[in-house]
């Protein structure tokens, strides 16, 4: 006989409805594979009368999430509410009530992960969160379990499908940012308010979770360098292509030999020869390099109702196993093998720099002299013909330099009389 597991859903939006739909659709399969029969017994929503694409019996709905915690027939709560403060209070109350927690809330874990897992450890109640990073790609299980015997040398990821769709269309069709964003919104790939997708913070929340798991301490959002894609132009895509690169919003997570961990999420030039350069459209991918396994790539849909609910179902299966056989791990294991998150200004990279300059002799020499005084070498120069807004574009690729020094030098260049407008500075990733 199967073990009956009562489930409470906190949230019935796109993902919550997908969990309910797919849990019902594959109930027999899950029961055969896990020995557990899952039954959704309560669903907390703001508006029970709202018309929804996925229907559920009206008696399951409540407007009070605490009803899920008070019900002794609910063993697992699935938090899919969105936001941070309300879900944080709910998850903490669930842990204190002894309810196993499944969450897909990346912002919650990125901002409150330390407190949540401290409480989970104290209460000896687990938290599962596969759906919080990269939708249907099982990257949390990979980092936490499959590669547990590895030191992580680097993790690189394309973690936001909206920004990846926009940058792909810009590169392939020669389009600028604004019309492609409007297209993405029309097709449903971007929200009406796309800020978190295009400003980098959706991907940054996921990167923080991955970095914390990989290196054993919770990274503060304040320590992460985050930049959006809004200032990238069709011309930048063309210049990058001429140089042999693609521009992607890339999460880069890596440790140096001293044990300092670098975390950044910024538009980045990726060599055409690297597999991440060919990840296009709304797809996500994560490259993990371990000292034992080498490099491994994980690819798939990073968002959407079905891919994300697939990860929630996997967490429910694991939570059911915990119900039947409790164990020590509560979802995050801290350790002291790494020192700290490296300040962004100390991180070192190669760079792409686009300037608008006057079309007259001596300009390149003046810019080269400014870079030389900062001990920053030039790798290559592109200066196409044509005047735009009273200036001509000058594109430089630059040798490795600390980001703080590079940014200060760009400020100095901006102050030169021969430089017009706002320069664009992007990182270049070498995957060494």
Catalytic machinery residues: 206
DSSP conformation letters of 296-326: EEEEEE-SSHHHHHHHHHHHHHHHHHHHHS-
Q: How many CB atoms lie within 10 A of CB 85?
A: 10
Where are the alpha helices (H) located in 26-138, listed in sequence order?
27-34, 66-70, 85-96, 106-123
Where are the alpha helices (H) located in 228-304, listed in sequence order?
234-243
> What residues contact residue 98 under an 8 Å CB cut-off, 6+ apart?
123, 125
Residue 155 β-bridge partners? 253, 288
Residue with tokens 């008696």: 59
Residue 299 β-bridge partners? 285
Where are the alpha helices (H) located in 56-200, listed in sequence order?
66-70, 85-96, 106-123, 139-141, 161-173, 177-187, 195-198
DSSP conformation letters of 3-52: EEEEEEEE--SHHHHHHHHHHHHTHHHHHHHHSEEEEEEEEE-S-TTS--
User: What three-state secondary structure class fits 359?
Assistant: coil
User: What three-state secondary structure class fits 367?
Assistant: helix
Q: Which residues of 263-298 are buried (b: 16+ CB within 10 A; e: fewer)?
A: bbbbbbbbeeebebbebbebbbbbbbbbeeeeeeee
Instruction: For residue 369, report the phi and psi dihedrals to the nearest 5 degrees.
Output: -65, -40
CA distance 130 to 121: 18
Q: What tokens appear for 20 in the block?
A: 């309910």
CA distance 207 to 244: 26
User: What three-state secondary structure class fits 105?
Assistant: coil
């Amino acid at each position: 006989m199967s073990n009956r597991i009562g489930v409470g859903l906190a949230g019935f939006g796109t993902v919550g409805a997908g969990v309910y739909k797919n849990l019902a659709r594959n109930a027999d399969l899950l029961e055969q594979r896990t020995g557990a029969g899952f039954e959704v017994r309560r669903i907390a929503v703001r508006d029970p009368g709202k018309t929804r694409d996925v229907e559920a019996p009206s008696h399951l709905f409540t407007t009070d999430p605490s009803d899920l915690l008070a019900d002794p027939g609910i063993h697992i709560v699935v938090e899919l509410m969105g936001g941070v403060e309300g879900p944080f209070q709910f998850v903490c109350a669930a842990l204190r009530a002894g309810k196993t927690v499944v969450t897909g809330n990346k912002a919650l874990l990125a901002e409150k992960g330390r407190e949540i897992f401290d409480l989970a450890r104290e209460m000896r109640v687990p938290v599962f969160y596969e759906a919080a990073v990269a939708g249907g790609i099982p990257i949390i299980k990979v980092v936490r379990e499959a590669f547990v015997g590895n030191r992580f040398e680097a993790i690189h990821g394309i973690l936001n499908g909206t920004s990846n769709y926009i940058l792909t269309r810009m590169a392939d069709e020669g389009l600028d940012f604004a019309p492609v964003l409007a297209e993405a919104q029309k097709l449903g790939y971007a929200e009406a308010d796309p800020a978190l997708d295009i400003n980098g913070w959706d991907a940054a929340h996921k990167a923080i979770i991955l970095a914390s798991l990989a290196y054993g301490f919770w990274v503060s959002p304040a320590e992460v360098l985050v930049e959006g894609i809004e200032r990238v132009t069709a011309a930048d895509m063309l210049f990058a292509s001429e140089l042999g690169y693609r521009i992607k919003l890339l999460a880069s997570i890596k440790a140096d030999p001293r044990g300092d961990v670098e975390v950044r999420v910024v538009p980045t030039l990726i060599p055409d020869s690297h597999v991440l350069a060919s990840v296009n459209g709304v797809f996500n991918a994560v490259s993990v390099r371990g000292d034992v396994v080498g490099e491994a790539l994980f690819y798939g849909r990073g968002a959407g109702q079905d891919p994300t609910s697939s990860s929630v179902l996997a967490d429910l299966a694991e939570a059911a196993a915990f119900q039947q056989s409790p164990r020590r791990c509560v979802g995050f294991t801290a350790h002291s093998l790494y020192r700290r998150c490296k300040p962004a200004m100390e991180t070192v990279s190669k760079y792409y720099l686009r300037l608008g300059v006057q079309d007259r002799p001596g300009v390149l020499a003046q810019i080269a002299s400014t870079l030389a005084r900062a001990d920053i070498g030039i790798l290559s120069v592109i200066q196409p013909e044509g005047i735009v807004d009273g200036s001509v574009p000058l594109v430089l690729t630059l040798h490795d330099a600390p980001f703080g020094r590079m940014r200060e030098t760009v400020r100095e260049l901006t102050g030169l009389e021969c430089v017009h407008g706002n320069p664009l500075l992007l990182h270049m990733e070498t995957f060494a």
